[in-house]
Amino acid sequence: MDFYAYQAEARRRTRYFVLAFMLAVAFVTLALDTVAFTLFSARDAGQPQGPFAYAVQHPGSAVFFSLLIIGVIGLASLYKSFELRGGGAVVARSLGGVRIDAGTTDLKLKRLRNIIEEMALASGVPVPEIFVLEHEGAINAFAAGHTPANAAVTVTQGALDHLDRDELQGVIGHEFSHVLNGDMRLNVELMGWVFGLFVITLIGRTILQFTPRGRDRNSAGAFIAFAVAMIVLGYLGLLAGRILQAAVSRQRERLADASSVQFTRNPQGLKGALVKIAALSEGSYLTAPHTESVAHMLFAPGLARAFATHPPLLERIRKLDPHFDPQEIKRVAAQGVRESDPPQEVETHAQMQPGSSLAGSPLVRPLAAASGLGAASGFTAATPVSAVPATARSISAQVGQVESIHIAHAQELRVRLADGLREFADVPGKARSLVLALLLARDAEVRASQERLLTGSLAPVELAAVQQAAAIARTLDPMLRLPAVLQIFPALRRLPLADRQALLKLVADLLNAEQQVDIFEFCLAKLLTSLLTDQMEARAPHGNVTLKDAVQSIHVLFAIMARAGATDDREARTAYETGMQAVLSIPCPPYVSYPDWPRRLDAALPELEALQPFAKQAVVAGLVSTIASDGRLTVEEAELLRTTCALLHCPLPPLLGG
C-alpha cells in the first residue's frame, strides 16, 4: 500500500465526507424548518398556511430559527470533537478501558505490551497508550486518536485470553495500519459529526419530557409535535452518520488486513484470530453501552447493525487463505476456543543480554543479507549502523510500511531498552527527567551553565532525578536515543498541560545555553516539540503547500543534511546538488553552509510540514539521495532523516544495521 497515495486519497475522502455532513445538516435544518414554520403559522393565523408562506411573512424569524438549528448541531459537533482532542485514551475510557502500565507483571498484559512496543519501534512512531476492556469476553480491538502522538490501542480481555502471540500480533498489526495511515483521525472526526446530528434527538426527548400537559392543549400539542419531529429527524441524521461511518470503515478494514500481513509476513496469525472470532460464542460483539459510537473503528463487528461496518468474516478469511474450508470454523467451535497458552517470549527474551551489540548480533546479520543490505548496495560503513538499501526510492517507499524484518529488529531493540527505561516509561516525572538528562552537554562549562538553569527551574527533588537519569542517558547507544524518547512518550503525554508546556520551554532554554547545538540535541528538541504539540493540538498531518512554494525551505533542509554527512564543503556541495536535482525540476538555489543552521532549519520545518503528501514523498527521496551521494550513512544523517520524516508525519522504520 502506497503511504503517500493513501494520505492523498484520505484528504480527498475527508472533503467528500465533510460535504456529506453539510448536506445532512441542511436536510435536518430544512425538515425542522418545515415542521416549525407550519406550527408557527397555525398558531398565528388559526390554521396552517404552509412553511413557505410563514418564511416569506417572517423572514427574520425564519433565518434566526434556521441558524439556531445549524448552530446547535455545529456546537454539539465542536463540543464532542473538543472532548475527543484528548486522544484515543478518551475513547478507550468511554468504553471502560483500563490503562496498562509498563511495569505490569501479568504475563498476558506483558505480552500485549511487548507486541505493541515492538510494532511502535518498527514503525518509527511513539508507543501508544494501551488499554484493556477487562469485562469483554469477545475478541476485538481498536485504535483511536488524531495522530500517533495521542493514539491509544485497546483490546478486549477475550483477545488476551483466546489469542496466541501470532494471532494477537496479527490483530495489533491491523490496528497499527490505522495508526500509520491516519484512519484514526477520520474515525474520531466522524464520532464528533455524528454526535452533532444526534443531539437534535436528545433535545427532542428533553422537550417531550418537560412539556406540560395542562389546560392549553393546543400549545402542548404543538410542543409535542415539534419534539417528536426532532426525535425522528435526529434519528434520520444519525442514520446518515452511520451510513457515512460504514462507508469509511469497510474498505479501510480490507486495507488494514493487507497491511497486517505485510507487517508480520504471517497471514496465519490474522486468519487464526478471525477464525476464533467466528467460532467463539461471544464472537466480537461488545457489551459496553457506547459500542455503537465506536463500531466503525473496531477490528471486527462490535454489534449487529443494518449498515455493516466490516466485510463478512468469511470474506476476510478467504482473502488471507483462498483455499479456506468453512468447516474449520465448526471444528474449532466444536472443540471450544481454548484459552491461549501462557506467554513464553517474556522469559526467553529476559535471558538475552540488554547490553549486547546490535550491529553484530546473530539476529541482524541475516536480516541485512535478506533485505539486500551491505556491499552490494553501494554503501560502506561510516559507523556500525550503516548499510542501507541502494536506492533513494527504496527507503522513501518504506515510509508507513513496516516489514517483518523491522519487527524482528524491534524485538531485539526493545530488549536492549527494556531494563534501563522501564522505570522512566511509567512515571511522567521520571520520563521528563530522562529527556532533560539527554540534553545535558558533555562539555563541562556548558553543562555547568545548563545545571544552573535547571537549578532555577526545578525543585531539588526534580533536579536530583535529572542527575540520576544522566547516568542512564550516558550509557545509551547513539542510535538508541531517539527510540528511547519514543518509548517513554506515553509517560510524557500524561504530564499536566502546564508541565508539558514548561518542559518545552525548558528544553529550548537548555539548547540556547549551548553556543553549538549538535544534530542529536536539535533532533530531540524538535521531535519532542512536535510530538507534544500534536498530542495537545491534534493538528492535521498534511497541508496544501507545493514543492515550488517551498523551494527556500527545501534548500535549507538539504544544505544542512548535506553538511551533516560530509567531510568538507566540496563533498557537501555534491551531496546537496544530487538531492536537490532529484526533487526540483527548476534551477536550484546554490549550496550554502549555514553556521546558524539550527535557527534556519527551525524556521524551515513548519512550511515543509504543510507540504502535500506527494511533495513530501519527493522530499524524503531527495534527502536519501543526498545521504547516498558519498556512499556513507552517519549517525547524524540517520537521526536527522528519521526526525525530519517524523516532523513531516511520514513515519520511517529504522535503518537497519549490518
Specify the residue for cell string 455503537: 292
Q: Which of 227, 222, 232 is closest to 39 using CA atoms?
A: 222
**Which cell is 521 given?**
540535541
**φ, ψ dihedrals at 144, nearest 5°:** -140, 155
Could you tell me if 438 and 481 are in contact, meaning their C-beta atoms sit under 8 angstroms apart? yes
What is the rounded distance in angstroms from the CA atom of residue 651 to the CA atom of residue 125? 6
What is the rounded distance in angstroms from the CA atom of residue 481 to the CA atom of residue 187? 33
What is the rounded distance in angstroms from the CA atom of residue 147 to the CA atom of residue 142? 14
Tell me the DSSP string of 43-55: HHHSS---HHHHH
Q: In what order do the strands lie in the sheet with 98-99?
A: 98-99, 129-133, 152-156, 141-144
Q: Where are the alpha helices (DSSP H) in 358-496?
A: 364-370, 392-396, 404-426, 428-438, 444-457, 460-475, 481-492
Angle, nearest 10°, between helix axes 3-45 and 183-210?
Answer: 20
Instruction: Kindly name the residue from 118, 136, 175, 451 that is annotated as catalytic.
Output: 175
Pairing of strands 152-156, 141-144: antiparallel
The identity of residue 241, as a single letter, is: G
CA angle 274, 652, 517 (to 5 degrees): 145
445 classed as catalytic? no
What is the rounded distance in angstroms from the CA atom of residue 506 to the CA atom of residue 521? 13
Could you tell me if 248 and 193 are in contact, meaning their C-beta atoms sit under 8 angstroms apart? no
What is the rounded distance in angstroms from the CA atom of residue 122 to the CA atom of residue 653? 5
Q: Which of 555, 635, 563 is closest to 600 using CA atoms?
A: 555
What is the rounded distance in angstroms from the CA atom of residue 172 to the CA atom of residue 160? 12
CA angle 481, 484, 488 (to 5 degrees): 145
Could you tell me if 161 and 171 are in contact, meaning their C-beta atoms sit under 8 angstroms apart? no
Cβ neighbours of residue 581 under 8 Å, at least 6 residues apart?
Answer: 588
Cβ neighbours of residue 462 under 8 Å, at least 6 residues apart?
Answer: 429, 432, 433
What is the rounded distance in angstroms from the CA atom of residue 591 to the CA atom of residue 575? 10
**Which cell is 570 given?**
566540496
Active site residues per annotation: 175
